[in-house]
Chain A
Amino acid sequence: KNEVEQSPQNLTAQEGEFITINCSYSVGISALHWLQQHPGGGIVSLFMLSSGKKKHGRLIATINIQEKHSSLHITASHPRDSAVYICAVLTSAGNKLTFGGGTRVLVKP
């Protein structure tokens, strides 16, 4: 079993819809990252969080440390949000990031 599991693997939404991506992990962590990877391959760090909730524009990330679960929400989705979203955890035991398998999001106009 992977240490970081994401769901769903693929998601298709209509423009304007609310999107939720889930991330569960099984190890102790010091922080959790949400990354966005566009079709060209570039990776952008969206959030780093260790508790609670963060918001940036239409993106909201939450984490529940007790339940070892994080969610990334996209409100009022837009075709430009189409990308792969990757959850990664910074393990307590070291400094390495362990990645989930990614969620491929397609937002149709």
Chain B
Amino acid sequence: DSGVTQTPKHLITATGQRVTLRCSPRSGDLSVYWYQQSLDQGLQFLIQYYNGEERAKGNILERFSAQQFPDLHSELNLSSLELGDSALYFCASSVADGAQYFGPGTRLTVT
């Protein structure tokens, strides 16, 4: 158990819908990272927050947004969902830029 929690574990929704994925980092970790793992693209970095502020941005689509709240939990919002958004979404946390601890992931299926 990494200490990082993600909810929900599984999510099935239809194209065009909007979903929110939630991540609670390990106690004391200020950095939260979001990753997408799809069958054809592998693991890709989406975005990083550090203590509530956006720190680094990767291959995140404009339809996706994220935020980190004062209690350090983070949410990833995915809107206007397409079939190609079906993937595993991982959250990871770290103290600063150190070793990252991954959550169990949320499996999103868009039908």
Contact = CB atoms under 8 A, between A and B. Distances in A.
A47 B21 CA distance: 27
B98 to A, nearest CB: 7
Given A95-B56, A95-B97, A42 B45 contact: no
Contact of B45 (A35, A48, A96, A102): A96
**What's the dominant secondary structure at chain B's contact region?**
strand
B43 A42 contact: no
Given A33-B99, A45-B100, A99 B105 contact: no
Nearest to A46: B99
A94 B59 CA distance: 13
A95 B55 contact: yes
Contacts of A30: 97
B55 A99 contact: no
Choose among A48, A86, A97, A101 the residue with the greatest number of B CB atoms under 10 Å from its CB. A97
Contacts of B58: 96
B100 A33 contact: yes
Nearest to A101: B42
A48 B42 CA distance: 20
Interface string B78-107: 000000000010101000011111101101
Contact of A97 (B2, B88, B100): B100
A99 B44 contact: yes
14 contacts: A33-B100, A42-B102, A42-B104, A43-B102, A45-B100, A45-B101, A94-B56, A95-B56, A96-B56, A97-B35, A97-B45, A98-B45, A99-B45, A102-B43
